[in-house]
Structure 1
């Protein structure tokens, strides 16, 4: 059984819906060989990353950057994972009230340093909240889990 770790900061009802949608997609009946583990960034750490086969990150855009909680996760996980998780498949989504550019740049900078492998373009849910964001997040979770199960990532 492969393990997909979802680390997403969800401080609001809308961001909780997005995190739940990613998990729902990953746990779809179409995917049977993947264990899905969902953790808040402050509850996740290097041991979780070392135990997973792929990762989905989620964050709101805070002042043009990722949430402090997700940054804390990276701060605690970076060096313990640096030489042990090269090539780790990952994807991420951003709930952006503006454009998400700074948040995307920050996540891509850190994950490039870790030498993780981005398997899907970033999903940036921009502007006013729309229900379609949940379907996009569900598709992201399904894509990553199904690809992991099939050995494509």
Structure 2
């Protein structure tokens, strides 16, 4: 069974809703039962490199705070980055971000961090600005399923 590690910071209703939809898609029993195990960790608790090393792929999620990724997700990367370099190369990943008006800085930071770790982007990052509705949640669910499906290649 493949392990998909979901690391996110979800302090708002919108980010909780997006996270839950992404996880629901990635763990849909119709497609992934017995094939993909989804392990979700809050970003502030994701400081042990073993969690990353034990996973086959990653999904990261963050609100956009002051034009940047959340401090909680940054803390996870700061705590594990050096130990992971060279050990997670080419593992599949993607991420989602939610902001009010602009997510450029958060996306740029996540792109830089994941490029440094040499992770392999397998789905266009999922970005939502403003209020989150049912269509957004359906798209987030599909996004999660898309990333999980890459574990079955």
TM bucket (normalised to shorter chain) is: over 0.9
Name the structure 1 match of 2:32: 31
What is the CA deviation profile of residues 129-152 of structure 1, one whole-angstrom value per residue up to 9, with x for unaligned ones? 32322112111111111221x22x
Residue 135 in structure 1 maps to residue 138 in structure 2: yes
Q: Which moved more, 1:66-75 or 1:124-133?
A: 124-133
Distance 2:149 2:87 in 1: 24
Runs of 4+ in 1 over 6 A off after TM superposition: none
Q: Give structure 1 stretches of 5+ with no counterpart.
A: none
Give the structure-1-normalised TM-score. 0.94
User: Among residues 34, 40, 43, which one is paired with 2:42 in the alignment?
Assistant: 40
Give the structure-2-normalised TM-score. 0.94
Residue 64 in structure 1 maps to residue 67 in structure 2: yes
Distance 1:65 1:132 in 2: 25
RMSD: 1.0
Q: Is the 8 A contact 1:99 1:127 kept in 2?
A: no
Residue 146 in structure 1 maps to residue 149 in structure 2: yes
What is the aligned residue count? 150
Q: SS of the counterpart of 2:97?
A: strand
CA-CA distance at 1:24 after TM superposition:
0.5
User: Among residues 96, 100, 104, which one is paired with 1:97 in the alignment?
Assistant: 100
